[in-house]
Amino acid sequence: MMAILILVAGMAIGSFLGALSYRLPRGQTVMEGRSLCDHCKRKIAWQDNIPFFSYLFLGGRCRHCNRQISKRYPFIELSTGLIFLGIYFLLNNCSGELAQTLCNWKVSLKLLTLPFLLFVASVMITIFVIDLEQKLIPDELSLFGFLIVLVAAIFLASFFANVFAGFLVSVILLLIHLVTKGRGMGLGDVKLALFAGTFLGWPYALTWLFIAFLTGAAVGIILILAGRASFGKQIPFGPFLVFSFFITIVVGSNFLNLILK
Ligand SMILES: [Zn+2]
């Protein structure tokens, strides 16, 4: 029952994140009015704005002009719902083996852990979408996320280790940014590292960077071989950092142990 509630809440918040990730980089506020159809600019009625299901029901088309509704909306809604469900499941089943980072937070934040984690996940999902579409990470998102994590971390026994981890990974990315003169790594990634690293703590922040570089390199090579990208043309790194963030939450330090053995 609780799981269904989390899934539905996730899809509703995903609907908000879909609008936020569209409007924030365009300088529009999320609060201004209702959603409009991209083509005919008509308002979308509430019954046609139910996350994911309206999209299925309307066959992916606007009720008025019959043109295609962007697939990004149902995709973000469903992904957010499933990620929320995954976090809920992991939080209830975390152990020394699985999702250790979530366990760390649970010990200190108790009942506040779930809302805190869902907030962090929401910021991460929004960063993923905006960087993928616009190749930028708004400071508002990464710095606001960092601030909330920093305040929550005060309750952690490992407060200093977490702050150190966040500092270390952002310095690593900053050095890459300086050495590659901004081509390899944006300053947005540096600030995102402060947010993610402080959340993950030590040594998980290192697992996180490692998986991000690994997946980034693998996908980059595939895209270049497939002729979809070239060297010099920038592939945003943020989506890999966010993807790796969620993977690190699941596998924790196990991945690092496996590599170091
Ligand atoms: Zn329309």
241's tokens? 């950092």
User: Residue 40 carries which side chain, given as an amino acid letter?
Assistant: C
The residue-averaged pLDDT of 219-227 equals: 88
| pLDDT tier at 80, thresholds 50, 70, 90 | very high
**Ligand 1 center to 145 CA (angstroms):** 35
**C-alpha 207 – ligand 1 centre gap (Å):** 45
Q: What is the mean pLDDT of the chain?
A: 91
- 203-227 in b/e form (b: 16+ CB < 10 A) is ebbbbbbebbeebbeeeeeeeeeee
pLDDT over threshold 90, residue 216:
yes
What distance in angstroms lies between residue 41's CA and the mean position of ligand 1's atoms? 6
pLDDT at 70 over 90: no
User: Region 13-39: what's the mean pLDDT?
Assistant: 84
pLDDT at 35: 74
Average pLDDT rounded to a whole number, residues 35-57:
84
pLDDT for residue 90? 95
pLDDT band at 45 (very low <50, low <70, confident <90, very high): confident
Residue 218 CA, ligand 1 centroid: distance in Å: 39
Burial (CB < 10 A; 0-12, 13-18, 19+), residue 151, is exposed
The whole-number pLDDT of residue 157 equals 94
Tokens standing for residue 146: 């960092």
* pLDDT reported for residue 123: 98
- The pLDDT, as a whole number, for residue 224 is 86
Ligand 1 centroid to 133 CA: how many Å?
22
pLDDT of residue 33: 59
Q: In which residue are the tokens 């963030």 written? A: 245
Q: What is the pLDDT of residue 251?
A: 87
Q: What is the pLDDT of residue 24?
A: 92
Question: Could you give the CA distance from residue 25 to residue 229 in angstroms, rounded to a whole number?
Answer: 24
Contact assessment for residue 203 and residue 104, using Cβ atoms and an 8 Å cutoff = no
Report CA(123)–ligand 1 centroid distance (Å). Answer: 29
The residues placing their C-beta within 5 Å of ligand 1, an ion, are 37, 39-40, 62, 64-65
- Measured in whole angstroms, the distance separating CA 40 from the mean position of its chain's CA atoms is 31
Q: pLDDT per residue over 111-124, tens digit each? A: 999 999 999 999 99
Q: Residue 32: which pLDDT band, with cuts at 50, 70 and 90?
A: low
pLDDT value at position 114?
97
Q: Is the pLDDT of residue 95 over 90?
A: no
Ligand 1 centroid to Cα of residue 31, in Å, is 21
Q: Which of 17-31, 182-196, 225-239 is most confident?
A: 182-196
Q: How confident is the model at residue 261 (pLDDT cuts 50, 70, 90)?
A: low
pLDDT at 233 over 70: no
Measured in Å, residue 128 CA sits from the centre of ligand 1 at 27
CA 7 to ligand 1 center in whole angstroms: 28
pLDDT for the residue 97: 80
